[in-house]
Structure 1
Amino acid sequence: MYVISNFYFITGIAVIGGALFGFDIAAMSAVIGTDQYREYFFGGSISSTVQGGITSAMPGGAFLGSIASGFLSDAMGRKFSIQIGACIWLIGCTLSCASQNIAMLILGRLVNGLAVGICSAQVPVYVSEVARSDIRGRLVGCQQWAITWGIMIMFYISFGCSYIKSTASFRIPWGVQMLPATSLLIGCMFIPRSPRWLARKGRWQEAEDVLALLHGGGDKEHPYVRQEMSEIRIMVELEKQNADATIWEIFKGPILYRTHIAISTQVWSQLTGVNVMMYYVTYIFKMAGLTGSTVLVSSSIQYVINVVMTIPALYFLDKAGRRRTFLAGSLLMATWLFANAGLMATHGNPAPPGGIDGIPAASWIVHGPASKALIASSYLFVASFACTWGPASWVYPPELFSQRHRSKAVSFAVSCNWLFNFALGYFVPPAFQNIQWKVYIIFGVFCLAMSIHVFLAFPETAGKTLEEVESMFAEHVPAWKTRVGKTKDSELPPESNGTVPPSRSGSKSPELDRVIDEKEV
């Protein structure tokens, strides 16, 4: 069977798994404000608590799926795990599309969550293991770009369907979500397996074939292929005395520090408050005084911004590095969150009992020019997230771990993302109902806290091979002293203007060279 060798095509297929999450966000956020949805499931007036449960069912399932994905990926491989996720998604969409009541809808979204959990954890692992070090951030960051495309496309589909005066207004969008999953299932048949997973399983010939296909135009003797193969072989040699890592092992010894960073990255990405803007953007714009279809049109602008502003990150994430990206993003988001809180506190007042348009969570009304400033700050917040924490939070965790620990550690870190996604999805509607604008202060404080944490604890991984990152941790370099690794043009494969000069071992890591010296002795 034909196997694709172009990095960008491979990434384009794999990150459809990320787009599934985006489709889910928009398919829910666009319909919760429609009369058809409210009438069918709630009889006209939405309960904030029940809607929070419906919304959070997907991240709840994703929590379970991401935990399971580590074991699944180690046993069956990254590519097959993603395909299994696509199959589960098709089942979830069928249940959601056919929902007759709230319980069935929650079940469908829970199953969808299982699929999202598997794909969101293993797509970054897969892409990071096939990508070159100089463009790894760009390629893994495409997962977030795919999420933004999924949000925007599905939002416009849902917006168009909102004019249908029947249950088809929400059943069609929920059914259309099966199309990208089908594309993912088929597309994965034509992408290679992870060479590092193959090597870990002792399938050296296949691993070498994949590296030659990806990095040497099919030439196994290409210097870059020999270098990568050498580093992978030595790393596997260091690890082969141990069986596959257990989930408990990532919480022991020196691995615990990396696990804490990976988990923190995923948790902080949720505590930025981005879900306030994504799932419940229609509520926010209703509080800003928008009505009717204007709410959905204004919401769609946010999703366009999300897509467009992710593009710069794909360019500078490898050049500026992960640390600078995280720090800039958290400080900018804090600015817009505090601005929103100030605008609502000084230029608004409580909504009538029962909220706006029968939505209790829409509990505050902002008047005059301040309402436009509130919308502008919301747009700026999304732009800040899209070009910083959005892509960087997916890129960073897979880079932190060795081959042996990567799958399970990343799956656990991503499960924490979904756990907080679940909690926030459930928390935000009642929070808006009870504490109104103070919700923004909570998330603004979180953004300031994450800035301090990043500066003190998050080391720089950009520009380094996965094996070099392993060496960096072994040397205990303080996070604030780490810098972006620079890969010389002469060290890149032919598509990046050069070849690797032959060396004794092909290794660029002092730790790996030490192991080679010991073996030669």
Structure 2
Amino acid sequence: MVWTTTYKIPQSIAILAVAGTMLGMDISSMSIFLGSEYFNRYFNYPGPVIQGLMTGANPVGGLIGCVLFGILTERIGRVTTFQVVALIWILGSVISAMVLNVTMLIVGRLVRGIAVGTLSVLLPVYIGEVIPSNKKGAATSIVQLALTLAILVTFFTCFLLNFLENQISFRVAWGLEMIPALVFFLLSFCLSESPRWLVAHGQYDRAQDILQHFAQGKVSNANITKIDILEMYGTNQRTGYWDLLSKPLLKYTLIGVTVQVLVQACGINILMFYIVYICEMIGLKGTSKLSAASVPYLINVVFTCIPILTLDRLRRKLVIVHGGISLACTMTLIGIMMGCLGHKVPPVNGNSTIVWEVTGTPGLIVLALCFLFVAIFASTLSCCAWLYTNEVLPARAKSKGMALCMATSWFLNSCLTFTTPLLLSKIKWITFVLLGVVTIILSTIIAIWFPETREKKELEPQPDEVTSKNSNEDTSEVEKETRSAAPSPYIHEMNKIELIAEQGYQETV
């Protein structure tokens, strides 16, 4: 079968969206089964530590995946790494579908987590290197929307399979997760390699050919030369991980890491992973519990549509700060209400993690605040934090910098996911208050000291301005060969990593 490489931006985004579904499937594939009697009986009623290992195996794999990204993508390229990741995901799905004990469950989630961790770095890096600047926000948001849709579909699939009330339920659910990976593996052969990666490896002719293909139909008579490519991407000098800690890059690295810490510290993954536990704390049971637990996933999908329509026009820092402060207030209020209006109870249904209860109207208010929390996160941090981290890193440090920032995110995610059952069993409602306090501190730091990355776009020449300039120039052969000071308008439309913009932007931090 012959696969034709696509150079159309909408088609490329659509293929990346399929990869986005893989990012979301594992988030909800455990939440239904964790509270089920047959699931706990099959795995010998795991305690808080084992529950943490079962759920936390995925983010631990994500941390490993970030390291794997740095090894693979610099050697074999972005597209080939996409294909390797899809195969890793399929392997993890097979292990999970054949699960026999807790060890196999943890290994299966760990392997899939490796694929997710690699994708969490590779997707924003690829978007930053291939998608035009004026469409990066929409592309990031569409991938995030695919992620949230996958969470929702997986949840309802598990919800329906749960009625079987035996091991077939989770085996089928986890086996079905290999379908999007198979689809993405096939579609990935249609993606073009990143010109940025090609230039970094000295493949200027191939990078020039790809950019010429993208230029067709965009700008009339666009003629992209190697001089233009060098101006866009610089030389093939590479940045190592230790360089991220050097004086010129350290502040950008710290900014990106802090934003990713905020994403995890706000508590979104804890809420999504353990929403079933919260429903049990407020007294919901049976179908009512599972129905209420599905609402956050639906809210997540609906409110992720907002960044698709607005993110390219909004200031990134403003979105993150407003979102972070709102999330902090909501999470703190959840904890305070649970502490003031709830009380300690014996382990619910034998689950030693759930030892606190807040029923009646206060419980419903807590649940409503959880729904509000998800809505705020989906419309602010879910997409913008990803985009901001990619934009704040200088061109030469984007690949390694994103890997380090996302590795930090996955490390904190794994720590929180693992310790949450222990925290809920020991300090109970104080867990939510702590998350709120940390979130407000990080949001304040971002508001006071961090730069606005959307201003970076204003430093780039606009396509119309360059086109007008070029139309008034002499078209002699000599001037065409020496036009390195004014590259083609298509380059300014496609390029996200201009050295001049980077230098000017560094002065604003």
Given the two structures, how large is their TM-score scaled by the length of structure 1? 0.87
- After the TM superposition, which residues 276-295 of structure 1 pair with which residues of structure 2 at under 5 Å, given as runs? 276-295=270-289
Match of 2:399 in 1: 407
d(CA) in 1 for partners of 2:167, 2:498: 63
Out of 340, 345, 351, the residue aligned to residue 334 of structure 2 is 340
Match of 2:134 in 1: 134
- After the TM superposition, which residues 12-411 of structure 1 pair with which residues of structure 2 at under 5 Å, given as runs? 12-42=14-44, 45-217=45-217, 221-222=221-222, 232-234=229-231, 236-237=233-234, 239-240=235-236, 242=237, 244-352=238-346, 355-411=347-403
d(CA) in 2 for partners of 1:166, 1:300: 21
Task: Map Cα deviations across residues 161-192 of structure 1 (whole Å, 9 max, x no partner).
Answer: 00113201111110000001111111111111
d(CA) in 1 for partners of 2:426, 2:194: 49
CA 1:436–1:231 in structure 2 vs 1: closer, same or farther (change >3 Å)? Answer: farther
Maintained 8 Å contact 1:266/1:413: yes
> Per the alignment, in what secondary structure is the counterpart of residue 245 of structure 1?
coil
Maintained 8 Å contact 1:17/1:120: no
One-letter amino acid matched to 1:380: L
d(CA) in 2 for partners of 1:361, 1:3: 51
d(CA) in 2 for partners of 1:485, 1:286: 52
Identical pairs, percent: 30
> Per the alignment, in what secondary structure is the counterpart of residue 87 of structure 1?
helix
Maintained 8 Å contact 2:256/2:405: yes
Alpha-carbon deviation of 1:386? Answer: 0.5
Match of 1:471 in 2: none
One-letter amino acid matched to 2:274: Y
One-letter amino acid matched to 2:323: G
Maintained 8 Å contact 1:21/1:116: yes
> Per the alignment, in what secondary structure is the counterpart of residue 240 of structure 2?
coil
Alpha-carbon deviation of 1:205? Answer: 2.8
Task: Map Cα deviations across residues 342-381 of structure 1 (whole Å, 9 max, x no partner).
Answer: 22122211122xx212222222111221111111100000
408-417 or 205-214: which moved more? 205-214
Maintained 8 Å contact 2:335/2:433: yes
Out of 413, 428, 440, the residue aligned to residue 420 of structure 2 is 428
d(CA) in 1 for partners of 2:498, 2:461: 16
Out of 512, 515, 519, the residue aligned to residue 500 of structure 2 is 512
The yes-or-no answer on 1:451 pairing with 2:443 is yes
Maintained 8 Å contact 1:197/1:403: no
How many corresponding residue pairs? Answer: 481
Alpha-carbon deviation of 1:140? Answer: 2.1
d(CA) in 2 for partners of 1:71, 1:231: 29
Maintained 8 Å contact 2:99/2:105: yes
Gaps of 5+ in 2: 474-482, 504-509
Given the two structures, how large is their TM-score scaled by the length of structure 2? 0.89
> Per the alignment, in what secondary structure is the counterpart of residue 359 of structure 1?
coil
Over the aligned positions, Cα root-mean-square deviation in angstroms equals: 2.4
> Per the alignment, in what secondary structure is the counterpart of residue 15 of structure 1?
helix
Match of 1:2 in 2: 4
282-291 or 14-23: which moved more? 14-23
Alpha-carbon deviation of 1:288? Answer: 1.3
One-letter amino acid matched to 1:4: T
d(CA) in 1 for partners of 2:348, 2:468: 64
